[in-house]
Amino acid sequence: MIIDSWLRLRHSALPALATLLFTTALFAQEQQNLTILGSTASWPTGRATFVSETDVDGLRIRHTRVDDADCGARDFLEFSGPLGPDTTSVIEPFLNAMQPCGSSASRGAVILSSGGGAMTDGYALGELLTQYGVATALVQGQVCASACVAAFLGGSPRYMLENAWLVLQSPVRRPGIGIDCENSQEVDALKEYFAARLGEEKGGLLQERAMSNCTAARGWTIQPLEAVALGIAEADNTPFTQQLADGSLNFMAENATRPGVITTSSGLQYEVISRGANADAQSPVATSRVTVNYHGTFVDGRVFDSSVERGRPAAFPLNQVIRGWTEGLQLMKPGDKFRFFIPPELAYGEAGRGPVPANTTLIFEIELLEIGGSN
């Protein structure tokens, strides 16, 4: 549902709320079957097979096989959750089960999403990934922190897609997380590992930047462009995204290049479907009450909420909906029909809501019927 606060729904809107509550379990199950662990990206519909899955101390691991025209199938290993001392031994059987692509020695890619763990556990996993010759990747919405950064560096090549983050948490001194910056042995080990993976120059720069953030509570966040500049990630993600042939991995970036799509400074994207008859009409402001018809889907086309399908328009104050709606409807006039592409940070973000999982890009077709009205 697009309303930000359930408590603000009018009593007469309860049938819509009931629809959402009854469909949440169904869509949660579908999303679990389609979404790459810890991300907003989906596997190609009808082409992905889940070979095996397990959960060890909060670390969820899944072996996924995707149909591929070049080599029959490509294997991917997804994991999401904290790394621990047993992670390497748990993951190795999964790596063994990954089939090389055709005659290639490559065993595919490991897709990581992890809040971290002890750096020593990250080093061990990174060494294992190097041994098996796998690529590593972060896709949309994934965060790879502390020990996960070390593991990520063990892959070759390494890919970071849009809206993914590396977080080097060297300053955190809680047991089992990051490194103790005052422990010279741990600091030296980190330096040696960076140098082995990135070379003396870039590894030394990464070490210097990490240690300079030792007093920062949240560590050092590295976004894709910066990761490319530091030699951490490949500049061209095409070899990875082509393996999946699935637009949802780079949906917003690719969508922005389509003719007619406009991107605002906030990252909201929209296109005009049709214009109303009165070009001189006023647009709503953030405090306006509006009446609309809307149809909401995920990027793979699945419907999660639709006043059109319910056969009843919705009315609400514009300042009580998700940010993408508040901004987008102020671009419209009564009678206009737009299509909005709303990134997670302008929708339900990391929390998600109802049938919408965390970190999910949403698409809405919205017709602004009138400014005002009741529901």
How far apart, in Å, do the first and last CA atoms of the chain sit? 15
d(CA 189, CA 101): 34
Contact 87, 59 (CB under 8 A): yes
* Torsion angle defined by CA atoms of residues 326, 327, 329 and 332, in that order, rounded to the nearest 10 degrees: 160
Catalytic residue among 348, 363, 366, 371: 348
305 a catalytic residue: yes
Is residue 348 flagged as an active site residue? yes
Token output for 301: 């086309």
Structural contact between residues 334 and 370, judged by C-beta atoms closer than 8 angstroms: yes
- The residue annotated as part of the active site, out of 27, 76, 79, 304, is 304
Instruction: Assess whether 132 carries a catalytic annotation.
Output: no
**Is residue 294 annotated as part of the catalytic site, yes or no?**
yes
Catalytic one of 363, 364, 366, 371: 364
- Burial code of 39-71, b = ≥16 C-beta within 10 A, e = fewer? bbbbbbeeebeebeeeeeeebebbbbbbebeeb
Handedness of CA 201, 206, 209, 210 (dihedral sign): negative
Distance separating alpha carbons of residues 52 and 364, to the nearest angstrom: 35
Catalytic site residue from 322, 342, 366, 371: 322
Q: Residue written as tokens 């389509």?
A: 258
Question: Among 270, 294, 298, 316, which one carries the catalytic annotation?
Answer: 294
Looking at 305, 336, 341, 342, which residue is catalytic?
A: 305
Residue 270 is among the residues annotated as catalytic for this protein: no
79 is catalytic: no
Active site residues: 294, 304-305, 322, 348, 364
